[in-house]
Amino acid sequence: MAGTLYLIPSALGERPWTDYLPAATQAVACRLRRFVVENAKTTRAELKRLGHPLPLRDLAIEQLSERLSPDEIGRLLAPLLAGEDVGLLSEAGCPGVADPGAAIVRRAHALGIAVKPLVGPSSLLLALMASGLEGQRFAFHGYLPAREPDRQRRIVELEGESSRLDQTQIFIEAPYRNDALLAALLAACQPATRLCLATDLTTAEETITTRAIGDWRRLTLPKLDRQPTVFLMLG
Amino acid sequence: MAGTLYLIPSALGERPWTDYLPAATQAVACRLRRFVVENAKTTRAELKRLGHPLPLRDLAIEQLSERLSPDEIGRLLAPLLAGEDVGLLSEAGCPGVADPGAAIVRRAHALGIAVKPLVGPSSLLLALMASGLEGQRFAFHGYLPAREPDRQRRIVELEGESSRLDQTQIFIEAPYRNDALLAALLAACQPATRLCLATDLTTAEETITTRAIGDWRRLTLPKLDRQPTVFLMLG
């Protein structure tokens, strides 16, 4: 009998685990001994925060390579075929959503391994809920192009599509480029387009503000530099 | 000082709350006395499950109308402007995501009321995590057209877009039409397109299976009739 691949969300920021995980999710994480993870260091910190009963050195924590090969995926899933349960964790938030874990899950399905997603925090979902923007239709686009004129062109394209489909557009940026992306959005979008900035979600510094582009232009802008931010737009 | 609008996710199925909510979410729900909700009956059941310390008849639970008017939104938010905290709940899952709560949140932002999203279950997010499909780009489309030929045409359109953008397409259906939607997907899609069916999430009956359309065609199909199901497709 094969083991189960548990998908374990992890902290978005420094908080006690009871703030962001159900007891059932913590209990699963604390009974596993084998993990496949995006970042071994943040996973060790997370397992410590969760109070894993075993010394961390007794756990098998395997970090995903930057470029996951099919062979590596097979090797990482082999313990499951031998009957062992495995936990998959990303650096922050939900494994497989805006991060590299999905390839592992896809192969697990192909091998007939049971996949069990556990409840926990997702910055994208928290931001969408709290934005007040359209939640009946939305799309996550990952990162926009970092350079001009590609970035402006992509912003205008996403805004037009949002307006046409009544669809919330969600995207992120490398935190050190957040201020540049905000400036590009204010330069490129129509005044009536709504923009939500959701920063430092779940932490004491959390701020979530939705305003029309025209209003954002009249105000002192928040400093987003190096602060994890989700951008949401509805044209 | 205005109150805070708390966005409180609720159960997807019958489970003890420690399975699907962090203690911090339960604690907020149990200290509030005023709620704005999609369905008063399911909210009362949820608050009972959470062990709200007050008799339910002492709580103010206001159900959203089918067609929310601007006046009604203003009336529902008035207690917040008077300093009271309010909880927003949908029938199941996350308020404002695939449900009518977003209009309330949008107005709260316009009035400068703080909005605080709490962690909890979302069937869309759990399904996406567990599907193994593309999590770097995805879109939720709500309901597809219920009638042919519109449904087939929409399926083919979504499949083409998914393949072109490498984007997971997520959609739902009224539970009594799930089997018809599955049949339409199997008839319309390319054999190599992957389809994930995520049914009864978080419950004891949870099943999540991702297969190529060609493989689904060769197998006995699951009965999805009246079982809440998220459909995910990657062309």
For B129-146, write each residue's pLDDT tens digit. Answer: 999 999 999 999 999 999
For A179-208, write each residue's pLDDT tens digit. Answer: 999 999 999 999 999 999 999 999 999 999
Percent of chain B's residues with pLDDT above 90: 93
CA A127 → CA A138, B43, B112, distances in Å?
A: 12, 23, 17
What confidence score (pLDDT) does residue A66 get? Answer: 85
Q: Cβ separation of B109 and A209 shorter than 8 Å?
A: yes
DSSP string, B93-133: B-TTSSSTTHHHHHHHHHTT-EEEE-----HHHHHHHHH-S
List, in order, residues 6 or more apart from A215 with CB less than 8 Å away: none
**What are the φ/ψ torsions at residue B5 (nearest 5 degrees)?**
-95, 110
Kindly report the number of other CB atoms within 10 A of residue B222's CB atom: 16
Its sign, for the CA torsion B134, B135, B136, B140, is positive
Kindly report the number of other CB atoms within 10 A of residue A165's CB atom: 16
For A90-143, write each residue's pLDDT tens digit. Answer: 999 999 998 889 999 999 999 999 999 999 999 999 999 999 999 999 999 999
In this complex, the residue of B98, B116, B141 whose CB is nearest that of residue A135 is B98
Q: Cβ separation of B137 and A137 shorter than 8 Å?
A: no
Q: Cβ separation of A130 and B117 shorter than 8 Å?
A: yes
What confidence score (pLDDT) does residue B99 get? Answer: 83
What confidence score (pLDDT) does residue B198 get? Answer: 98
Residue B84: closest CA among B28, B24, B25, B33: B33
- Ramachandran assignment for B222, one of left (phi > 0), alpha (psi -120 to 50 degrees), beta (any other): beta
Q: Cβ separation of A132 and B167 shorter than 8 Å?
A: no
CA B172 → CA A137, A164, A182, B33, B228, distances in Å?
A: 11, 21, 33, 33, 9
What confidence score (pLDDT) does residue B29 get? Answer: 98
In this complex, the residue of A18, A94, A117 whose CB is nearest that of residue B22 is A18
Q: Cβ separation of B125 and A125 shorter than 8 Å?
A: yes
Residues of chain A found within 8 Å of residue B107, distances taken between Cβ atoms = 132
The shortest C-alpha distance from A216 to chain B (Å) reads 12
What confidence score (pLDDT) does residue A98 get? Answer: 86
Residue of A nearest to B24 (CA): A19
Residue of B nearest to A137 (CA): B141
List, in order, residues 6 or more apart from A176 with CB less than 8 Å away: A225, A226
DSSP SS3 for B163: helix
Q: Cβ separation of A115 and B132 shorter than 8 Å?
A: yes
pLDDT band at B67 (very low <50, low <70, confident <90, very high): confident
CB A169 within 8 A of CB A161: yes
Kindly report the number of other CB atoms within 10 A of residue B217's CB atom: 13
Residue of B nearest to A142 (CA): B136
What confidence score (pLDDT) does residue A100 get? Answer: 81
CB A59 within 8 A of CB A52: yes
Residues of chain B found within 8 Å of residue A135, distances taken between Cβ atoms = 96-99, 101-102
**Which residue segments constitute the domains of chain A, with CATH numbers given?**
4-117 (3.40.1010.10), 123-234 (3.30.950.10)
d(CA A155, CA B47): 42
How large is the average pLDDT for residues B48-56? Answer: 97
* A216 pLDDT above the threshold of 90: yes
Q: Cβ separation of A211 and B134 shorter than 8 Å?
A: no
Q: Which residues of B3-12 are buried (b: 16+ CB within 10 A; e: fewer)?
A: bbbbbbbbbb
Q: Cβ separation of A130 and B96 shorter than 8 Å?
A: yes
Q: Cβ separation of A130 and B107 shorter than 8 Å?
A: no
What confidence score (pLDDT) does residue A153 get? Answer: 97
- Give the count of Cβ contacts less than 8 A between chain A and B: 168
In this complex, the residue of A22, A137, A138 whose CB is nearest that of residue B21 is A22
Q: Cβ separation of B130 and A96 shorter than 8 Å?
A: yes
Token pair of B46, please? 């949820």
DSSP SS3 for A199: strand
Average pLDDT of every residue of chain B? 96
Kindly report the number of other CB atoms within 10 A of residue A17's CB atom: 21
For A61-93, write each residue's pLDDT tens digit. Answer: 999 988 899 999 999 999 999 999 999 999 999
In this complex, the residue of B99, B109, B131 whose CB is nearest that of residue A132 is B109
Residue of A nearest to B194 (CA): A106
For B111-125, write each residue's pLDDT tens digit. Answer: 999 999 999 999 999
Average pLDDT of every residue of chain A? 96
For B162-206, write each residue's pLDDT tens digit. Answer: 999 999 999 999 999 999 999 999 999 999 999 999 999 999 999
Q: Cβ separation of A98 and B7 shorter than 8 Å?
A: no
CB B59 within 8 A of CB B33: yes
Residue of B nearest to A6 (CA): B130
Residues of chain A found within 8 Å of residue B109, distances taken between Cβ atoms = 132, 196, 209-211
CB A13 within 8 A of CB A200: yes
CB B145 within 8 A of CB B154: yes
For B80-108, write each residue's pLDDT tens digit. Answer: 999 999 999 999 999 999 888 999 999 99
Residue recorded with tokens 């359209």? A134
Residues of chain A found within 8 Å of residue B167, distances taken between Cβ atoms = 139
Residue of A nearest to B172 (CA): A136
B229 exposed, middle or buried (CB, 10 Å; 0-12, 13-18, 19+)? buried
Residue B224: closest CA among B157, B168, B156, B177: B177
* A227 pLDDT above the threshold of 90: yes
Q: Supply the Cα-derived Rg of chain A in whole angstroms.
A: 20
What confidence score (pLDDT) does residue B93 get? Answer: 95
Q: How far is CA A159 from the centre of its chain?
A: 22
CB A32 within 8 A of CB A54: no
What confidence score (pLDDT) does residue A228 get? Answer: 95
Q: Cβ separation of B19 and A122 shorter than 8 Å?
A: no
In this complex, the residue of A101, A103, A109 whose CB is nearest that of residue B209 is A109
The shortest C-alpha distance from B116 to chain A (Å) reads 7
- Strand B4-7 relative to strand B194-199, pairing: unpaired
CB A210 within 8 A of CB A133: yes
